Structure 1
Amino acid sequence: MPWPDPISLHGDHAFLEPLGLARHDEFVEAVQDGELWKLWYTFIPSPEQMKSEIDKRLEQQRKGTMLPFAIVASDTGKAVGMTTYMNIDAEARRVEIGSTWYRKQVQRTAINTECKLMLLTHAFENLNCIAVEFRTHFFNHQSRRAIERLGAKLDGVLRNHRRSSDGTLRDTCVYSIIASEWPTVRSHLRHQLATRGVKSP
């Protein structure tokens, strides 16, 4: 039996639903907002790569290594990005939240904070995870700041961890939140959503 099982998660600003091809055209529209695939320090599929990216994530789901989601804005009902549980370790009960992207229009809004809160809540309170991990490129400063705003702590940097699509070697920053930290992180994220309205810090 795969762990974790596909599930939909609902919030005020957005909801997460199991990834599928039905929203392909919405993903294409979303990724064109800001031409996100041109960012050199991360991989975000281009419009032409979108179907193969969805297929790849669904294949990893079948193998039990990933649980991918579509991020859907509550006000429009349209997909604004993707996120996943990945590098799933069912025996140790650890997951990584990653392979995440949002259309430019909704970046730094409550949608990101709320999606992370939903994913972390499900991981710690329903899946009984002992830790949730986040990884990003050393030079992806926007992502690093966002991860740190969640309350995750830097575990370390994996130097020359992998080769990027442009051939350069990537140093990967590894962050985590452990189960004992979750109650404080949960309060922090709830406070952000309650006091910031539509903008995260």
Structure 2
Amino acid sequence: MSEFADPVPLSGQRVALEPLTHDHVEGLRAVVAEGDLHRTWYTRIPAPEEVEAEVERRLGLQAQGTMAPWAVRRLDTGAVCGATTFMNVRPQARKLEIGSTFYAPSAQRTGINTETKFLLLARAFEELRCIAVELRTHWHNHQSRTAIARLGAKQDGVLRNNDIWPDGSYRDTVVFSILESEWPAVRSDLTYRLTR
């Protein structure tokens, strides 16, 4: 397995990113049940009864070498509060995408996403020597688009009718990226924000 698909444990002041296992299923069921996250039409968040299959799917992609999946645990309460991944990993091109991320509503706007992304970006650029990291979201997911831009990612473009959603609607995918040359400034900004 490529180290790009190896979800090594990562830890900060607010969160611990743990390699995803079946032991996280119950915690993630509670996450998606909070606020009925799975009912948001422009995201692909599993319903509580679908969490086990989603964990299995992510672990299967890890075994194929195309994904590194983590569970996100709050350090203040010890509770699992979300999940994230390196996906579409391309070691030969030294590129990957951070995605398939979701958090409990109670974890949003707490600095947890900022620190999670900081830990993932530091691993991508400083350990895996990536030349670019992508982040993608649905055109209608304005909260996600704003959060990605706040990280310091730049919008590359919009892939129109890039996917067909389960309800039959078309997904326009907004593509953002951070380049290797931009990482020092992004790192400084995220470090500053995390210490405020």
Q: Which residue pairs with 2:141 in the alignment?
A: 140
TM-score (norm 1): 0.95
Q: Which residue pairs with 1:55 in the alignment?
A: 56
Matched residue count:
195
TM-score (norm 2): 0.98
Q: Secondary structure at the match of 2:3?
A: coil
Q: Which residue pairs with 2:84 in the alignment?
A: 83
User: For 1:113 and 1:100, how far apart are their aligned partners in 2?
Assistant: 12
CA displacement at 1:6 relative to structure 2: 2.8
Q: Secondary structure at the match of 1:33?
A: helix
What residue ranges of structure 1 are gaps of 5+ in the alignment?
196-201
Q: How does 1:3-22 map to 2 (within 5 A)?
A: 3-4=3-4, 5-22=6-23
CA displacement at 1:23 relative to structure 2: 1.6
Q: Which residue pairs with 1:2 in the alignment?
A: 2
User: For 2:43 and 2:123, how far apart are their aligned partners in 1?
Assistant: 26
Q: Secondary structure at the match of 2:17?
A: strand
What residue ranges of structure 2 are gaps of 5+ in the alignment?
none
Name the aligned partner's letter for residue 99 of structure 1.
Answer: S
Matched, 1:171 2:172: yes
Q: Secondary structure at the match of 2:97?
A: strand
Q: Which residue pairs with 2:30 in the alignment?
A: 29
User: For 2:94 and 2:109, how far apart are their aligned partners in 1?
Assistant: 30
Deviations 1:100-156 (A, max 9, x none): 000000111111100000000010000000000000000100000000000000001
CA RMSD of aligned residues (A): 0.7
Matched, 1:45 2:46: yes
